[in-house]
Amino acid sequence: MDSTPEPIEEWKKQQEKLLKEKDQKAEEKNKKSLEEAKAALDAFFVEYNAKSVEKKKKNRVEQEAYISKRDAPHPGKAWEAINDLVDLTTKGQKSTSDVGRMRT
């Protein structure tokens, strides 16, 4: 009495077929996801490289302008030349609230 009932055999075959279909769909979905990811990555690097080239060009132009300004002869006092090269503007203060009323 090794044989299993016919309905159980039929159910096992159906389950096996169903699992094969699910595996196939999952594999197709994974392949599609990988292809989309590769395309997105390629697009990212194309954009990144284009931005990098533009940034390098801009930096070279700014560097040459700075060097020409730095090396140009400055009439007058040396401190005036230094003052032109140094950025004395304040960069964003952390606290802009009025603290004058706080006394000890």
Q: Where are the domains of the chain?
A: 7-85
Amino acid at 18: L
Q: What is the pTM of this model?
A: 0.53
Residue 3: pLDDT band with limits 50, 70, 90: confident
- Mind listing the pLDDT tens digit for each residue in 87-101? 777 666 666 676 677
pLDDT tens-place string over residues 20-59: 999 999 999 999 999 999 999 999 999 999 999 999 999 9
What distance, in Å, lies between the first and last C-alpha atoms of the chain?
Answer: 98
- Asked whether the predicted pLDDT for residue 10 surpasses 90, the reply is yes
Nearest residue to 22 (alpha-carbon basis) of 34, 11, 30: 30
pLDDT in tens, 73-90: 777 777 777 777 787 776
Using CA atoms of 24, 25, 26, 30 in order, give the dihedral in degrees to the nearest 10. 100
